[in-house]
Amino acid sequence: TAGQLDEVDALVMPGGESTTMSHLMRTNELFAPIADRLAAGMPVFGTCAGMIMCASEVLDGRPDQRSFGALDLTVRRNGYGRQLASFEVDLDVKGLDSPFHAVFIRAPLAERVGPDVDVLAEHDGAPVLVRHGACTVASFHPELTPDARLHRLFVESLG
Q: Which residues are catalytic?
A: 48, 141, 143
Smallest separation, CB 62 to ligand GLN (Å)? 9
Binding mask of the shown chain, residues 95 to 134, with x at each position contacting ligand GLN by CB under 6 A: ----------xx----------------------------
Report if residue 16 touches ligand GLN, rule: CB under 6 A.
yes
Q: Which stretch binds ligand GLN (CB under 6 A): 10-18, 23-31, 66-74, 145-153?
A: 10-18
Considering only 13, 48, 55, 110, the residue that binds ligand GLN (CB under 6 A) is 48
Element (H, E) at 102: strand 100-104
What b/e readout covers 105-135, taking b as 16+ CB neighbours within 10 angstroms? bbbbbbeebeeebeebbbbeebbbbbbbebb
Cα–Cα nearest to 79, from 61, 96, 55: 61
Report if residue 52 touches ligand GLN, rule: CB under 6 A.
yes
